[in-house]
Structure 1
Amino acid sequence: MANVWELGAAILGGLGALVGIRAGTEQPRYTLVERLGKVEIRHYGPRLAAQATVSGSATAARSAGFEAVAGYIFGANTTKASIAMTAPVAQSAAGRSQSIAMTAPVVQTADGPASWKVQFIMPARYTRETLPVPTSDKVTIVELPAQDYAVLRFSGSRSGRAVERRTGQLTQALAGQGWRVTGPPTAWFYDPPWTPSFLRRNEVAAPVARGG
């Protein structure tokens, strides 16, 4: 049986999503600051996001978080308005505010369920004042400040283990390059689950600043 993530993505993606086509889906704008091999340093401006915090494995949390935030953009808000879907869907570990060692992958501890943040970036036309208020206490609107990110793009599996491996590659690639990681990493997913593996656009990103 299709899980909530698959069903929601089917509704949001339309016919093009059947093969991973993202035509017409708004994505946050960024400026390319520097290219370090396969890693891009990107500057993103301030953004608004609808966010749910959920527990469980990386994959299960992604599905639960998607369900909560998809409900908001489908009309579970004070104006009952539908909000256009954007890409990517962002997922990050909650409660990890410390800096990440430049040469070490991020590891999910096994002593109890993990906590994850799942975010949909809101379309750029909205402000905090014009964005509908969620009616579910599971969803909050957060303001993301302007930030430089180191980003590594990959296709294929987006399991928790795959994301950890790619995050390790990202942090190792930054070593000695004049950038330091300043916060927890985030995984960005652009395609529905049935998209052929080799066509998927997935990214791992970490906030960075010059120095180090």
Structure 2
Amino acid sequence: MSPILKTAALTLTLLALPATAHAADEPPHTVVVEDGAIQVRDYAAMILAEVEVSGDMGDAGNAGFRPLAGYIFGGNQARAGGSDEIAMTAPVIQTQSENIAMTTPVTQSMAGNGSWRVAFVMPPEWTMETLPVPEDPNVTLTERPARRMAAIRFSGGPNDARFADKTAELRAWLSAQGYEVIGEPVYARYDPPWIPTFFRRNEVMLEVAR
């Protein structure tokens, strides 16, 4: 077990919490444009711990959270032996994934229900060479390059209809401003489930061309 203990936080929310709550570290970024609830941000390269799960937005988010939390809180093998705790960052991100046939396994059987890729952003001090290896084979580590992301902020719990509405609102704003969308919608949540719904910070994010 690493002797370094860090404050835990979820991968996409804690700015909207009451003053008594702990704020989470967010991935390094610069705000390029701000217009009400919408921001355009430049994010540095990052590493994600990801797991793919099926179900509706809320169920998939909960199902994906458990193995990822297990990984960062010790369900791993450190590179030099033992296990490490990893500080969580905000937000927890969730994107709907495509079902692509592979040599093994074949995932087309899930196409009717859809699937979600749930991810935690790893703190920037970790690298692919130093991050501990997940004990759960469903948890994978993935590098993401630096990206420009547009985000629209809203409160509440996971809700498919609200996600769709906010995605449409963000797309309309981006189109009016002349941005080119080059990525699929990402649902980001910044708060743990015990935070009252009306205090929770959520975002829909879309990657745009620089």
Alignment TM class, shorter chain as reference = 0.7 to 0.9
Q: CA deviation at 1:38?
A: 3.2
Q: Any residues of structure 2 matched to 1:131-170 within 5 Å, and which?
A: 131-170=131-170
State the partner residue of 2:58: 59
State the partner residue of 2:84: 81
Q: Distance in 2 between matches of 1:169 and 1:35?
A: 15
Q: 1:123 to 1:111 in 2, by over 3 A?
A: closer
Q: What does the per-residue CA deviation read over 1:111-164, in whole Å, with 9 as the maximum and x for residues that have no partner?
A: 711111100000111011111111211000000110001110111232122111
State the partner residue of 1:101: none
Identity of aligned residues (%): 41
Letter in 1 for 2:90: A
Question: Is 1:92 equivalent to 2:91 in the alignment?
Answer: no
State the partner residue of 1:4: none
**Number of equivalenced pairs:** 184
Q: Distance in 2 between matches of 1:24 and 1:111?
A: 37
- Contact persistence 2:57–2:158 (CA under 8 A): no
Higher mean alpha-carbon deviation, 28-37 vs 131-140, is at 28-37
State the partner residue of 1:191: 191
SS of equivalent to 2:150: strand
SS of equivalent to 2:209: strand
Q: Distance in 1 between matches of 2:111 and 2:25?
A: 38
Q: Distance in 1 between matches of 2:75 and 2:196?
A: 31
Q: CA deviation at 1:200?
A: 1.4
Q: CA RMSD in A?
A: 2.4
Q: What does the per-residue CA deviation read over 1:5-46, in whole Å, with 9 as the maximum and x for residues that have no partner?
A: xxxxxx956xxx8x9455352111211112245321100010
SS of equivalent to 2:208: strand
- Contact persistence 2:8–2:88 (CA under 8 A): yes
Q: Any residues of structure 2 matched to 1:1-212 within 5 Å, and which?
A: 12=8, 20-21=17-18, 23-79=22-78, 80-95=83-98, 112-210=112-210
Letter in 1 for 2:71: Y
- Contact persistence 1:20–1:196 (CA under 8 A): no
Quick check: which one's helix share is greater? 1
Q: Distance in 2 between matches of 1:38 and 1:24?
A: 19
Q: CA deviation at 1:185?
A: 0.8
State the partner residue of 2:104: none
SS of equivalent to 1:194: coil
Gaps of at least 5 residues in structure 1 are 1-10, 98-109
Q: Distance in 2 between matches of 1:154 and 1:128?
A: 33
